Every structure is written in C-alpha cells, then in structure tokens.
Amino acid sequence: MPVGTAGTVKGIRFEELESPDLDARIILGNTYHLWLRPGIEAIEACGGLHNFIGWNRAMLTDSGGFQVWSLGELRKITEEGTEFRSHIDGQLCFLSPEISMQVQAALGAEIAMAFDECAPGKATHDEARRSMELTLRWAKRSREAFDVAQVANLRSFAPQDDEAETSTQVNNLRYPQALFGIIQGASHLDLRRQSLERTVEVGFSGYAIGGLSVGEEKPVMFEVIEEVAPRMPGDKPRYLMGVGTPEDLIAAVAHGVDMFDCVLPTRNGRNGQAFTSLGKLNIKNARYLEDQRPLDESCRCSVCRRHSRAFLRHLFLSGEMLGSILLTHHNLAFYLDTMRTVRQAIRSGQFSKFRREFTEHLTSGWE
C-alpha cells in the first residue's frame, strides 16, 4: 500500500496512482495526522476522507498509536490512553482506543486499525510484556468502540430510481468497515505468540504484525515474522506494518504475509534513490552524467520508457521538483509490479523459483 499519511501520497497525483502504469488499489492514511490537521470536523463536513481527498478506491487508516509512540518525551501513556503535545502547535491532546475508533469511523476508510502501544525494538522482556498487555486491553476496547461507532454511523440515504426502496450506507461508503487487530511483543517470541493468541480471541477481520522496523536488527525482525506469520489465521488477511525493502517483502510473503505498507518507495524517491531489479540506484552519482539508459532496463513504467538516467540526474542536481516526482513514480511502479508478479507466481505455483531469481538479480548489483 502506498503511504498517504496526510491524505496524499507524497510526490504523485491520484490520477497516476489509478493509471494502468501503477494501478494502486489501496492506499494508507494516518489517523493521528489527519485528526490534528485539517481535523475530523472538516473531513466529516466534506463527506469523509474519500470525498475530501478525491480517492475512490480502498483505503486503510492506521490508528495513530505508532505516531504517538514516536513522539517520545512529548507523550504520556496511561491505561486510559495517550496524552501528548501536538507536533504542529504544542497543544495538549489525548488519544484513546475509543477516540481512535470514532475518528477512523468518521474518516471512513475500508480498513481501520485497533489502537495499540508500540514497544521499542530493544525493549526488555518486562517492558515488552507491559506494553503487550496494555495493547491487548486496548484491543478489546477498540473492538467494542468500533462496533458502537459502526452502528452510530450507519444511516439511511435516499435510494435512486433503480435501487431498492431502502438502503444503508456507512460513513459515506458502500460497505461497513473492517477492523484489524495488531500483534505486539517486541523481539520476544513468547510474547508475540501470546499476543497473537489473545488478539485472535478478541476477534478481528484481519491481523497485523506491528512493532517491527523500530530499531531492532533485521535478523531479529525476521525471527519474529517467521515465528508469528505462519501462526496467524489463514482465512484472514495478514498485514506486516511499516516494512520494507523489496527483498523484505518477498521474504515475508514466503512466511505467509499478504499486506504491506512502507514509505521507502516515496521517501527514497524524493531523495534520489531508485529501486530496480538489480538493486538500489543513487541517481545523483557522477557515473550517470551521460548515461542514456533508463533507471531499470527491465521496467516498463512511463518513466523508464521515456527518460534517461542522465536527465534524471540533471533534475536532481538542478533542484527541479520533477526529479522527485519521476523517481517516486518509478519506485511505486517497481513495488506494485513486484507484488503483482508475486501474486502471479503464487497462483502458478512458481513462487520459490520467482523468489530465487528475484533475489539473485537484486544481489547482482550494478556494473
């Protein structure tokens, strides 16, 4: 899922995301950022997040838990929720499972996330246990508040001539929302197993592995994924939050993960780094001064069909915003096409072969 934190995927228009070149079917928005600015009242007045931003495809909203955790000393976590200072104006704010569910119901994304607390990657066992237990209590409160919010936001609307006499609509959408639970426990596998078991007992439409890529070593991250992902319900979506590089995604898919979000393709693109079938390419390097090849000769995106590395390097060194836009487009195309190829390989029973060849190409690097 491309990340659209504040209601926009940085550096690219929705028309491009919807084009055959990218064809993104779902994007991510963030409860914390949208709640603070422009505010839920403004978004509700505009008919929900889809109408407000002009995106008619699916959306997932994060609960805001990770963003509040990342504020560090600017926040105070209690049983009731989290008190924090807004990073925008310093105003004192309070976010709880109930408020997060109300906000996400008002935003109206197809998928909402339970409110959680994220322990640091190197948290001790006792610290991780306390955080996990709090997340589990918040998961139950999120589930209860979500169900109430769904009923409260269910409203009748006037049917069209060709529709039934009565219809219902939720949050300006055609369907009720789904709520995903989040598995925590830092790097401690026993806590991760407990978190999974008890989160499943609460009951959600999908399950996410949270609290990774927050400072732990990559081998530790994959120990957690390898331990947890295969144990997650096979009939529900399995979501790995905030990860990662193309090779991370492929490795996680091998363990059973279905869904991902990450800022890397857009953030790295804005800073001149392209993801390609042969690994990462830093377009600002002097070696590309007169290089007339595309970013990736195996890529069929519109950027690679039209522009050379030499031109893209010129844009970045000249401070032209088009450079960031074009690399963002290419990176998203590469990620989305990679995941389409993964799905095709799984359907055809060729995933192991695809994974081996994909990894070999990535590690071959640039000449």
CA contacts within 13 A on the Cβ side of 160 = 2
* Share of residues in the chain with pLDDT > 70 (%): 93
- Of 21, 248, 261, 337, the catalytic one is 261
State how far the Cα of 269 lies from the Cα of 329, in Å rounded to an integer: 8
Whole-number pLDDT of residue 194: 98
Could you give the domains of the chain? 14-262 (3.20.20.105), 267-364 (no CATH)
Read off the pLDDT of residues 30-85 as tens digits, 9 standing for 90 and up. 999 999 999 999 999 999 999 999 999 999 999 988 787 777 777 899 999 999 98
Q: Does the active-site annotation cover 62?
A: yes
Give the Cα separation of 340 and 1 in Å (integer): 12
CB 237 within 8 A of CB 263: no
Active-site pick, 62, 116, 248, 337: 62
The pLDDT confidence band at residue 162, using thresholds 50, 70 and 90, is low
In this prediction the pTM is 0.94
| Model confidence at 290: pLDDT above 60 | yes
Length of the chain: 367
Strand partners, 62: 30
Is 293 exposed, middle or buried (CB count within 10 Å of its CB: 0-12, 13-18, 19+)?
exposed
pLDDT (mean) for 252-281: 97
DSSP secondary structure code for residue 74 in this structure: G
pLDDT, tens digit, 9 for 90 and up, residues 108-151: 999 999 999 999 888 999 999 999 999 999 999 999 999 999 88
pLDDT tens-digit map of 323-354 = 999 999 999 999 999 999 999 999 999 999 99
Contacts (Cβ under 8 Å, ≥6 apart) of 41: none
| Tokens linked to 271 | 């800073």
Structure tokens at 264: 């890397």
Q: What is the pLDDT of residue 87?
A: 85
Q: Kindly list the distances between the CA atom of residue 359 and the CA atoms of 138, 269, 344, 356, in Å, as whole numbers in the listed order.
A: 39, 21, 17, 5
Say yes or no to pLDDT of 263 above 60.
yes
Tokens representing 86?
């807004």
Dig out the tokens for 247 from the structure. Answer: 């090779």
In the numeric block, the tokens 């560090």 are attached to 72
pLDDT (mean) for 262-281: 97
Split at pLDDT 50, 70, 90, the class of 158 is very low
**Alpha helix locations (H) across the chain?**
14-18, 31-36, 40-45, 49-53, 65-69, 97-107, 125-153, 189-202, 218-228, 246-254, 264-270, 302-306, 309-317, 321-347, 351-364
One-letter amino acid of 359: T
- Residue 156: its pLDDT value, please? 39
Q: Find, among 261, 223, 308, the residue nearest to 29 by Cα.
A: 261
Q: What was the pLDDT predicted at 114?
A: 98
pLDDT at 22 over 90: yes
Residue 343 Cα distances to 222, 275, 338, angstroms: 21, 20, 9
Cα 285 from Cα 297, distance rounded (Å): 18
Conformational region of residue 186, where left means phi above 0, alpha means psi within -120 to 50, and beta covers everything else:
left
Surface-to-core class of residue 333, CB atoms within 10 Å of its CB (0-12 exposed, 13-18 middle, 19+ buried): buried
How far is 101 from 264, CA to CA, in rounded Å? Answer: 27
pLDDT, average across residues 166-174: 49
Catalytic-residue membership of 261: yes
Distance CA 279, CA 360 (A): 10
Helix (H, G, I), strand (E, B) or coil at 86: coil
